[in-house]
A and B are shown apart, each in its own frame.
Chain A
């Protein structure tokens, strides 16, 4: 299963609402996770099962979708949210692929 993300990069301002899309080449039910990665650090889990917020993650992050189309929305973007975001499908055993990433930087 291939994952595509759009856009590949975007520029936004603090306070903006940002939406990132992840599309799977075939249906993956709701077995999708979203991660945030900052330079020099490991990816951090934000959303699992497409729309479940990991404990401790700010509520401005939300996920939706099922099947092949998924979105990650960041409401009221904060300075610490500038990072690269990856989706990952965990449905297609034995290969749980990652998307190519979306870099969010400051406008």
Chain B
């Protein structure tokens, strides 16, 4: 398996524009996580899905952020409208759960810059 695949790797957009980040989890994994990382706030959990269903979105900063998982092999994180403070690296991660073993696999991330 190629691992968790995120696209694009880099995104530069103007304030007010819509941004869509994409993630393809590892096949067979039933949990998918979206994180945001900045120097100031570290690695923050935004939302996670189990079997394509959002379980906890309490980390989503505001209504401008939305995430979907239409099927087991694809998820999107959308920001509309984008603001400069949304600039960060966004990571997607996936895992399966076999007993208590909980290793999660992260993608390479999308570096978002909003100017």
Whether chain B is bound by chain A comes out as no
